[in-house]
Amino acid sequence: MRHGKKINHLGRTASHRNAMLSNMASSLILHKRVSTTLAKAKALRQFVEPLLTKAKDDTTHSRRTVFATLQNKESIKELYGEVAGRIANRPGGYTRILKLSATRAGDNADMCVIELVDFNETLLEAKNATEAKATTTRRSRRRGGKGGADATSNEGGSSATEVTSETESPSVSPTEAEATTLDAPAE
């Protein structure tokens, strides 16, 4: 039984698994997105997120601990340079897993893309567009909006148009009624 054993061994020995996750983490930091299987992506997320959190604090000690895990100078330089600057105000959740519809041809494994959240330009542009749209103020409709005067009625059930139609004949428009009153002899 596997009571409380949360780690996915991925069918590898501990040294092989650590080396593979270290290489995948370096590739993720350098290239900002990696295509892999779903199980490896979930294991990589647990492996790389603490490293990204340590990268926010640029001290000699944090650099040494991250280098002991990654063993790659270029990825350390990229991590403490560009990546740490973008994730500085994010409280966690630095990676995103996007499942792909296709499976791997050889063993039918579920494939996915794991990426750093702040580096997907298309999603960032869409988010900025929706934020810009959401900042516009909502204006109330004017009285003669979609429903017009017929749709606006008060509690009593009579509307403004019904009151005016009782005083004037419905077949005569207001301009014609004014014309007929002007032509009529004054008594």
Separation between Cα atoms, residue 52 and residue 11, nearest integer Å: 26
Strand 95-103 and strand 110-116: the pairing is antiparallel
Q: For the chain, give percent helix, strand, coil, nearest 5.
A: 55, 10, 35
Separation between Cα atoms, residue 105 and residue 36, nearest integer Å: 13
Residues lower than pLDDT 50 in the chain: 159, 161-162, 164-167
pLDDT at 137: 65
Separation between Cα atoms, residue 107 and residue 153, nearest integer Å: 68
pLDDT at 103: 95
pLDDT at 90: 93
Separation between Cα atoms, residue 158 and residue 167, nearest integer Å: 14
Separation between Cα atoms, residue 161 and residue 88, nearest integer Å: 62
pTM: 0.68
pLDDT at 129: 85
What digits encode the pLDDT tens for the residues 4-49?
Answer: 999 999 999 999 999 999 999 999 999 999 999 999 999 999 999 9
Separation between Cα atoms, residue 66 and residue 26, nearest integer Å: 11
Superfamily of structural domain 14-120 = Ribosomal protein L17 (3.90.1030.10)
